[in-house]
Amino acid sequence: QTVVTQEPSFSVSPGGTVTLTCGLSSGSVSTTNYPSWYKQAPGQAPLTLIYSTNTRSSGVPDRFSGSILGNKAALTITGAQADDESDYYCVLYMGSGIWVFGGGTKLTVL
Amino acid sequence: EVQLLESGGGLVQPGGSLRLSCAASGFTFSSYAMTWVRQAPGKGLEWVSSSSGSGDSRYYADSVRGRFSISRDNSKNTLFLQMNSLRAEDTAVYYCAKHFGFYIGSPMGDYWGQGTLVTVSS
């Protein structure tokens, strides 16, 4: 059973930079997993930030960027704002039609 | 403007069935894979099932395989999720999501619906 790992929580100061990661319980994340990142506010549908590792979705500010760092996918937020406080999820394509979400990271801006 | 509108959620007893619909508009529906994602109360997102643009390829999470069935009517721009043998742990908000391409392996989440709540309880 493949598990996608994310930090349960993270905090960042306003104006600061934070990097959230998305890993695999076994093995390394690569671009062939097509990692995507979503932001979800309470009671709202997810909002796609990044897809295919590093492509920003339409309308997403360039403060959000995606990459592969070591053996994980990463979402970096620069110039953190109060509005960035939210839950963030990654998803990985495991092949054979299977997608797996990470458990999510609760980001606090304070 | 792309819109995805889910419907069909509600309260159902354990062992019962429910059929969710996702009505799509604003794009060529048959050209894009579609996915169902669910979120149990207070929990994270969980991939449930995906369909290629044609509907010929369909895949399921282990947690629902054999009980849920995804289908689509490309003539009516609608995605479905037939849910049978429902369990308490299937209680969740169910979202439909459009992929960026035709194949299930294309990234998901180009657009999301607002979700429909399914509650399985006696």
**pLDDT one-digit tens code per residue, A24-83:** 999 999 999 999 999 999 999 999 999 999 999 999 999 999 999 999 999 999 999 999
Q: Testing the interface with A: which of B32, B112, B116, B117 to mutate, by most A Cβ within 10 A?
A: B112
Contact state of B59 with A36 under an 8 Å Cβ cutoff: no
Measured CA distances, A33 to A9, A28, A29, B66 (Å)? 23, 10, 6, 26
Average pLDDT, chain B: 97
C-alpha angle with apex B26: B25 to B29, nearest 5 degrees? 65
Query: How high is the pLDDT of residue B43?
Result: 97
What residues contact residue B12 under an 8 Å CB cut-off, 6+ apart?
B18, B86, B118, B119, B120
Contact state of B95 with A102 under an 8 Å Cβ cutoff: no
Among candidates A36, A47, A97 on the partner chain, residue whose Cβ is nearest the Cβ of B104:
A97
Distance CA A57, CA A64 (A): 10
- B36, closest residue in chain A (CA to CA): A99
Distance CA A98, CA A80 (A): 33
Cβ distance A7 to A20 under 8 Å? Answer: yes
pLDDT-derived band at B81 (thresholds 50, 70, 90) equals very high
What percentage of chain B has pLDDT greater than the value 90? 98
| Mean pLDDT, residues A17-25 taken together | 97
pLDDT tens, residue by residue, B28-80:
999 999 999 999 999 999 999 999 999 999 999 999 999 999 999 999 999 99
Residue B94, pLDDT > 90, answer yes
- Shortest alpha-carbon distance between residue A79 and chain B (Å): 25
- Contact list in A for residue B97 (CB cut-off 8 A) is 46
Contact state of A36 with B108 under an 8 Å Cβ cutoff: yes
Query: How high is the pLDDT of residue A1?
Result: 79
Q: Residue A48 has which token pair?
A: 């796609």
Report which DSSP code applies to A32.
G
Q: Testing the interface with B: which of A51, A52, A99, A100 to mutate, by most B Cβ within 10 A?
A: A99
Residue A2, pLDDT > 90, answer no
Q: Where are the beta strands (DSSP E) in chain A?
A: 4-6, 9-12, 18-24, 36-40, 47-51, 55-56, 64-69, 72-77, 86-95, 98-101, 105-109
